[in-house]
Amino acid sequence: AQSVTQPDIHITVSEGASLELRCNYSYGATPYLFWYVQSPGQGLQLLLKYFSGDTLVQGIKGFEAEFKRSQSSFNLRKPSVHWSDAAEYFCAVATGSGNTGKLIFGQGTTLQVKP
Amino acid sequence: GAVVSQHPSWVICKSGTSVKIECRSLDFQATTMFWYRQFPKQSLMLMATSNEGSKATYEQGVEKDKFLINHASLTLSTLTVTSAHPEDSSFYICSASPPVGSHEQYFGPGTRLTVT
pLDDT per position as a tens digit, A77-110: 999 999 999 999 999 998 765 445 788 999 999 9
Q: Do residue A102 and residue B98 have CB atoms under 8 angstroms apart?
A: no
Angle at B113 (CA atoms; ends B108, B115), nearest 5 degrees? 170
Could you tell me which chain B residue has the CA closest to the CA of A5?
A: B43
A16/chain B closest Cα distance in angstroms: 26
A98/chain B closest Cα distance in angstroms: 5
Q: Do residue A44 and residue B98 have CB atoms under 8 angstroms apart?
A: no
Q: Do residue A36 and residue B97 have CB atoms under 8 angstroms apart?
A: no
Q: What's the longest Cα–Cα distance across chain B?
A: 41
> Is A98 or B114 the better-scoring residue by pLDDT?
B114
The pLDDT of B109-116, averaged and rounded, is 96
Angle at B108 (CA atoms; ends A105, A104), nearest 5 degrees? 15
With contacts defined as CB-CB under 8 Å, which chain B residues touch A32?
A: 103
Could you tell me which chain A residue has the CA closest to the CA of B34?
A: A102
A100/chain B closest Cα distance in angstroms: 6
The pLDDT of B90-98, averaged and rounded, is 92
B 19-78 near A (Cβ less than 8 A): 31-32, 34, 41-44, 46, 49, 51
Q: A with B: how many residue pairs have Cβ under 8 Å apart?
A: 61
Query: Residues near A45 by Cβ (< 8 Å), separated by ≥ 6?
Result: A36, A37, A38, A60, B107
User: Could you read off the pLDDT tens digit of each residue along chain A, which spans 115 residues?
Assistant: 789 999 999 999 999 999 999 999 998 777 889 999 999 888 899 999 998 888 999 999 999 999 999 999 999 999 999 999 999 999 999 876 544 578 899 999 999 999 9
Output the CA–CA distances (angstroms, integers) from residue A25 to A3, A5, B45, B116, in the order listed: 6, 6, 17, 39
A101's torsion region: left (phi>0), alpha (psi -120 to 50) or beta?
beta
A1/chain B closest Cα distance in angstroms: 14
Output the CA–CA distances (angstroms, integers) from residue B77 to A71, A76, B53, in the order listed: 38, 32, 10
Contact predicate B94/B76, CB 8 Å: no
Lowest mean pLDDT among A44-48, B50-54, B66-70: B50-54
Which of A27, A103, A110, A111 would you mutate first to test chain B, the one with the most B CBs within 10 A?
Answer: A103
